Structure 1
Amino acid sequence: MPEILFSRNDAIATITLNRPDKLNSFTRSMHAELSTALSQVENDPSIRVLVLTGAGRGFCAGQDLADLSFTPGAMTDLGELIDSHFNPLIRRLQDLPMPVIASVRGAAAGAGANLALACDIVLASHSASFLQAFAKIGLLPDSGGTWFLPQKIGMARAMGLAMLADKLPAEKAEQWGLIWKCVDDREDKDALDKETQALAAHLASQPTKALAMIKHALRASLHNTLPQQLALERDMQRELGNSHDYAEGVNAFLEKRAPRFTGD
């Protein structure tokens, strides 16, 4: 059975983590399959939205500890695993030139939680939860966890989640601003899928180049000075002002009709 499923629906690509019996926890082979799927997305300019989700009852439980070469009493070089697999994965997700939606059902734990947080917009079912489980086994949050958490929810909450390793329900994660939306699926078990599909379809109809630059500019603001950010906005706006989608957006506004963006 493939550990990653890849599908296309017009301009929307979906990558599904597919180890449901292990809560989609990562193995080295799963990393390799995911890397191949991301290459398909990176090399296909017709893809305008990526959805990342998990099969079964969970999103991703992080690293499968059984897949590690662990010997009691011996030293383990986790840095090699992170450097060769998790860090490149997080960087690739952040650098994709289209919106990336994480659709989270059930547990998102350890690196699985931070995999979701690396996406641009996170939708989660009411039953979903986010868990920085690292301290329970003597580690610290990786896969960008120590960067995403304080940026998104502030240092006090980040410190509590990382040190106490408490489960954060999706509803509270939305209230704290960690995720975009908690979808109430208690009466309709397909509510999360419907919400994800609707959001993906909307984003696929929008000016993709502008959305890519929004992603880049907002993340750059975290380390830029105000003059640097103003200069970046100027340069990006100059490029977007010469795009087909800007011309279409203005014409549609003047003609009082819905725009037909192509992503160019």
Structure 2
Amino acid sequence: MKSLDTPYETLRLAEPSPGVAVVTLNRPEQYNAMTNSMFDELERVALALDDEDDCRVLVLTGAGKAFCAGYDLADADELPELGALGMLDQQERAARALLAVRSMRLPVLAAVNGPAAGGGLSLALAADIRLAATTAKFNAAFVRIGLSAGDLGASWLLTRLIGPAATSEICFTGRFVLPDEALRLGLVNRVSEPDTLLDDALSLAEAIVANSPGGVQLSKRALQANLEAASYAAALELENRGQALLTRSPDMPEALAAFKERRKPVFTGN
């Protein structure tokens, strides 16, 4: 991947296996708290990886003991002094980063290795799939610092993921959700031991890479778009177009031939 050659101040980028990129938030002494530099770099790396055809899955994780502690409160003193338009610019800068992650055509997995608080929770929610270590914990910390849980997509994503009642309780109290409850609620897909979390995420990523690139990408597009579909008929229309498009790809006849010949398919993604 060409993006591996780009230096980052707040992130580490690696390719542990073909087609799988791992982006590690790399401010461990600050529990990977978010800064404007991190927002800018998250947006940049998401756009860069999304533009690489050989990148098939992104895994997000954190260095050290935390996934992400949210916005760095060391920088928060200046926020009340920004003025309305200045604060709007700050919010939009952060929102662009998470929107870039959420909008990637390839699947995004969050390997939540420790606390995911505030904006860190929002970042985990922006992923398509979440795996949590037993050391992870989640909270919508916004109300504890005088802000709203309507931040960086949390109110939209969490409600759709676990329902409005559970979301309301978590957001109004700011309490922590531990891994077992997160699994029960559907906030995470799996819970792993800390020393196996990344390996488990990479195994899942490699299982995705084994499939048709176009099939995976259009599956993600359908799943995300149909969260907002106005009707069943509208959802079917989108699905029909996706299936018609994919039959024009050489990957479908290759998959059929491989099935008949009892071998693994070789997908090109063209």
Question: Could you say whether these structures have the same fold, taking a TM-score greater than 0.5 normalized by the shorter chain as the test?
Answer: yes
Q: Which consecutive residues of structure 2, in runs of 5 or more, have no partner in the other structure? A: 1-7
Shift of 1:70: 2.2
Deviation of the 1:69 alpha carbon: 4.9
Equivalent position to 1:62, from 58, 63, 70: 70
Cα deviation code 1:85-117 (max 9, x no counterpart): x21122211221111111111100001011011
Residues 16-61 of structure 1 deviation map (CA, whole Å, 9 limit, x = unaligned): 1000011100111122222332232022111111111110000001
SS at match of 1:14: strand
Whole-angstrom CA distance in 1 between matches of 2:31 and 2:80? 25
Classify 1:72/1:246 alpha carbon distance in 2 versus 1 (closer, same or farther; 3 Å): closer
Tell me which residue corresponds to 1:240. 246
CA distance in 1 between partners of 2:262 and 2:79 (Å)? 68
Please give the alpha-carbon distance, in whole angstroms, between the structure 1 residues aligned to 2:184 and 2:97. 28
Alignment of 1:1-264 (within 5 A): 2-9=9-16, 10-70=18-78, 77-84=86-93, 86-141=94-149, 142-183=151-192, 185=193, 189-224=194-229, 225-264=231-270
Deviation at 1:74, TM superposition (A): 8.1
Identity of aligned residues (%): 34
Please give the alpha-carbon distance, in whole angstroms, between the structure 1 residues aligned to 2:190 and 2:203: 13
Letter in 2 for 1:70: E
Distance between the aligned counterparts of 2:113 and 2:188, measured in 1?
A: 13
The answer (yes or no) to whether the contact 2:47–2:104 under 8 Å persists in 1 is no
Amino acid in the other structure paired with 1:93: V
Instruction: State the shift of 1:215 in Å.
Output: 1.3
Q: Secondary structure at the match of 1:68?
A: helix
Distance (Å, rounded) in 1 between the aligned partners of 2:56 and 2:227: 25
1:193-222 deviation digits (Å, cap 9, x = unpaired): 210121111112211211111111112222
- Rounded Cα–Cα distance in structure 2 between residues aligned with 1:91 and 1:209: 22
Which runs of no fewer than 5 residues in structure 1 stay unpaired? none
Q: In the aligned structure 2, how far is the partner of 1:36 from the partner of 1:219?
A: 22
CA change 1:11–1:139 in 2 (3 A) is same
Q: Give the length in aligned residue pairs.
A: 259
Alpha carbons 1:102, 1:119 under 8 Å: kept: yes
Look up the equivalent residue of 1:148 and give its one-letter code. Answer: L
* Pair 199,74 (structure 1): closer, same or farther in 2 beyond 3 Å: closer
What amino acid sits opposite 1:21 in the alignment?
E
- Matching residue's letter, 1:161: I
Bigger mean CA deviation after superposition, 33-42 or 60-69 = 33-42
Give TM-score scaled by structure 1 length.
Answer: 0.92
CA offset digits 1:163-201 (Å, max 9, x no partner): 000100122111111121111x1xxx4211210121111
| CA distance in structure 2 between the aligned counterparts of 1:46 and 1:74, rounded to whole angstroms | 42
Q: Would you say the 8 A contact 2:183–2:190 is kept in 1?
A: yes
Q: Distance in 1 between matches of 2:79 and 2:69?
A: 22
One-letter amino acid of the structure 1 residue matched with residue 9 of structure 2: P
